Amino acid sequence: MFEVVLWQPEIPPNTGNLMRLTVNAGCRLHLIEPLGFELDDARMRRAGLDYREFASVTLHDSFDDYALGVEGSRIFAFSQKAKALYTDIAYKRGDSLLFGRESDGLPASIREHDAVTESVRIPIAAGGRSLNLANAAAIGVYEAWRQHGFV
């Protein structure tokens, strides 16, 4: 269905939650190193429950490595710095939804990478700074899936 891509995630429970999300939404999860934790971290296992064994998770050494593997596919970088809204996109099966690390999101070098189709943002209220990574990814995944009738 869709590829969920985390660039250098730092907080293990977010990744565990996203393992659950990707299994339940029929997506694959890609983790771009370095990770801020070990994949056997107890906090990640707790958040992911038993979904880890069912999740399709692939590690990549760098964003360039990921991009080479999906060459020709569309990659949407989620960032508060983007002008376009995530709801403005007509998602296609196989699209990649790329999210940055919890502390500082995606750097310009990733958002502006040749492989990135477009940067999009999820609106937040005035005075807000950012959403939790797992929540933001869920918003993006469910919008893309909704556009396909949840099939």
- Mean pLDDT to the nearest integer, 20-34: 96
Residue 41 pLDDT > 80: no
Which residues, 6 or more positions from 96, have their beta carbon under 8 angstroms from its beta carbon?
2, 3, 4, 5, 30, 70, 73, 74, 75, 76
| Domain ranges within the chain, ordered by starting residue | 3-146
Residue 35 pLDDT > 70: yes
pLDDT, one tens digit per residue, over 79-102 is 999 999 999 999 999 999 999 999
pLDDT at 38: 85
pLDDT, one tens digit per residue, over 95-145 is 999 999 999 999 999 999 999 999 999 999 999 989 999 999 999 999 999
Architecture of domain 3-146: 3-Layer(aba) Sandwich (3.40)
Model confidence band, residue 44 (pLDDT cutoffs 50, 70, 90): low
Neighbour count for residue 87 (Cβ, 10 Å): 13
Q: In 8-80, at which residue ranges do the beta strands (DSSP E only) sit?
A: 28-32, 57-60, 75-78
Residue 64 pLDDT > 80: yes
* Cβ atoms of residues 38 and 9 within 8 Å: no
